[in-house]
Structure 1
Amino acid sequence: FLIQSTCPPVNENLMDLLVMVDSVKRASASRITAVIPYFGYARQDRKSHPRDPISAKLVANLLSIAGIDRLLTIDLHSGQIQGFFDVPVDNLSASMILGKYTLEKNLKNPIAVAPDVGGVKKVREFSDFIGTQFVVLNKHRPADNVAEVTDIIGDVKGKTAVMFDDMIDTGGTIVAGAEALLKGGAIEVLACCTHPVLSGNAVEKIAFSSLKELVTTNTIQLEPRKAIPKIRVLSIAPLLGEAIKKIHLGESVSDLFVKSHARR
């Protein structure tokens, strides 16, 4: 089991992983499982413009050619990336980790929030786990890395809104979303995400926003300067550890994909 997140510096970390795979393959390892908590290049899973590369497929090819027999990852940006591989892919979800933390906070009238229509499936899993309904933000991007929320599909009046997404990059969406939700009547706004990319001045945006808290995981190690009071980091080690144990023993990992729990 080779554990390596392909977070920045992405190319360097990816190359390190490929070299490690080649090394253990030449050392006659009987089985090689690449454990990639954060799969870099995941957002380049299709051609958005003519002559764009499909980098997620290229990375899948590189890992397969290097010699992996299985991939274990968490919350791929697009589920279809699993089809880029010719080996088994276990795409675990951090919904349970983030959901348990949310339940422990005993929030008043919580409601899950999808930051856009594309995030509905992931938010439905999260809302099922915490036993609540969800609403959707109608968002558009007038320019790159600029997000504007035009309206809220659903009612958030008197509720604690919990935005959920697989990753947060520039922070523009959650900051704009928090403002829109408060204007829509929410009493407070929190956000949860699996992968804290937090590029550019994202941390500063979050620090000075109306967002009460951002809860994330350590699929990407945060730099010391990003460790602000508003950001809470949860460990995905127990989830990965359990998956690794089950795979090693030849057991099913199906129970790690169960996301629907009644709210207690």
Structure 2
Amino acid sequence: MKVACTEKSQILGSKVAKTLGLPLVYSQFKAFPDGELYLKTGALDGETLLVSSTADNQSLVQLLLMIDACDRSEITLVLPYMGYARQDKRFNDGEPISSRAVARALSAGVSRVITINIHEPSVLSHFRAPAIDITLAPEMARWVASLGCDEPIILAPDKGAVIFASEIAKHGGWEYDHLSKTRLSGEEVRIAPSSVDAKGRDIVITDDIISTGGTLATAAGMLKDGGARSVHAACVHGVFASGGFARLAAAGLASIAASDTIESAASSYTAAGMIAEAMRE
């Protein structure tokens, strides 16, 4: 087996190859003057582990081209971050179910698919190859432990994300809760933990995705005003759209961390170990 990766996942792909002790195939990428993409990869036959996040449209097209270039190989596709996965329903007539369209397109030519903390697990059913989802909760728990906080509270941004927060919390034996909104007046809303007291405590807000960071920044400010000792933010997929990272930094968070499913300076823990573990099973 060899490991191949697209351009935006080359660091994670390299880590996966090193962790598994497999050779990494060098691939070249460029764009033609008309904007069309070109790639050339090394010899791939037998089995290929293909690591590729699709955080933007260019990465999606590169992945489609890479799958075709590996047509003589049995491909295990690792999608650390799957773009379009959040459009899992048709909300209005005439809309596509984007996650279904992308899953079906990426299924052609692959033997199995591994995703990481996909936003909506039902999306896995759209792949036309066996698909599993793995979690980075253990890696995020190790990062929380490295902060040196005294009995931190792991907070989900809403009730729907509390299961993920509980998965992280159980690895350290920490308390967990979710944020809730209380309308105090026609214009004033309070955001605070649903059941635990944050005063004098270290808070780590966790989620699968941080996109624009707007709600999280507001919550962090209110938690600090309510007496929290420190507020941190951690996610699997750091999208940070529309200046999201700067918004959180401006809100005074003590730290902002993401994994390398989307590679950036915020990548503080890696998905490589969990991918390797899934491959060994």
Give the TM interval when normalised to the shorter protein.
0.7 to 0.9
1:126 aligned partner: 168
* Structure ID, larger Rg: 2
Amino acid corresponding to residue 194 of structure 2 in structure 1: I
Q: Deviations over 1:214-259 (max 9, x none)?
A: 121111122xxxx4xxx46222222223333x1xxxxx2xxxxxxx
Counterparts of 2:86 and 2:174 in 1: how far apart (Å)? Answer: 29
Does 1:240 find its partner at 2:281? no
Amino acid corresponding to residue 126 of structure 2 in structure 1: F
Contact kept, 8 Å, 1:94 with 1:194, in 2: the verdict is yes
Amino acid corresponding to residue 154 of structure 1 in structure 2: S
Runs (5+) with no aligned partner, structure 1: 141-147, 247-251, 253-264
2:94 aligned partner: 51
Q: Secondary structure at the match of 1:32?
A: strand
Q: Secondary structure at the match of 1:189?
A: strand
* Cα distance, 1:183–1:48 mapped onto 2, change above 3 Å: farther
Counterparts of 1:75 and 1:241 in 2: how far apart (Å)? Answer: 15
Q: Secondary structure at the match of 2:70?
A: helix
Counterparts of 2:268 and 2:80 in 1: how far apart (Å)? Answer: 14
Q: Deviations over 1:7-35 (max 9, x none)?
A: 1xx2221122122222322x2x2x21111
Counterparts of 2:118 and 2:168 in 1: how far apart (Å)? Answer: 15
* Cα distance, 1:208–1:47 mapped onto 2, change above 3 Å: same
Counterparts of 2:134 and 2:52 in 1: how far apart (Å)? Answer: 16
- 1:60 CA drift (Å): 1.0
The 5-angstrom pairing of residues 20-39 of structure 1 reads 20-25=66-71, 27=72, 29=73, 31-39=74-82
1:171 aligned partner: 213
1:13 aligned partner: 59
Counterparts of 2:112 and 2:190 in 1: how far apart (Å)? Answer: 40
Counterparts of 2:159 and 2:94 in 1: how far apart (Å)? Answer: 27
Equivalent position to 1:154, from 195, 200, 205: 195
* Cα distance, 1:204–1:84 mapped onto 2, change above 3 Å: same
2:177 aligned partner: 135
Counterparts of 1:52 and 1:104 in 2: how far apart (Å)? Answer: 44
Q: Which one is further off, 212-221 or 177-186?
A: 177-186
- 1:94 CA drift (Å): 1.2
Q: Secondary structure at the match of 1:201?
A: helix
The 5-angstrom pairing of residues 54-203 of structure 1 reads 54-64=97-107, 66-139=108-181, 150-155=191-196, 156-203=198-245
Contact kept, 8 Å, 2:155 with 2:193, in 1: the verdict is no
Q: Deviations over 1:181-211 (max 9, x none)?
A: 2233321111110111011121221221121
Amino acid corresponding to residue 124 of structure 2 in structure 1: Q
Contact kept, 8 Å, 2:85 with 2:118, in 1: the verdict is yes
> What percentage of residue pairs aligned between the two structures are identical?
33
Aligned length: 226
Q: What's the Cα RMSD here?
A: 1.9
Counterparts of 2:267 and 2:75 in 1: how far apart (Å)? Answer: 33
Counterparts of 1:213 and 1:149 in 2: how far apart (Å)? Answer: 23
- 1:38 CA drift (Å): 0.6
* Cα distance, 1:100–1:151 mapped onto 2, change above 3 Å: closer
1:259 aligned partner: none
Contact kept, 8 Å, 1:75 with 1:194, in 2: the verdict is yes
Runs (5+) with no aligned partner, structure 2: 1-48, 183-188
Amino acid corresponding to residue 131 of structure 2 in structure 1: V
Q: TM-score, normalised by structure 2?
A: 0.75
Counterparts of 2:106 and 2:267 in 1: how far apart (Å)? Answer: 32
Equivalent position to 1:217, from 252, 259, 270: 259
Q: Which one is further off, 160-169 or 80-89?
A: 80-89
Counterparts of 2:70 and 2:86 in 1: how far apart (Å)? Answer: 29
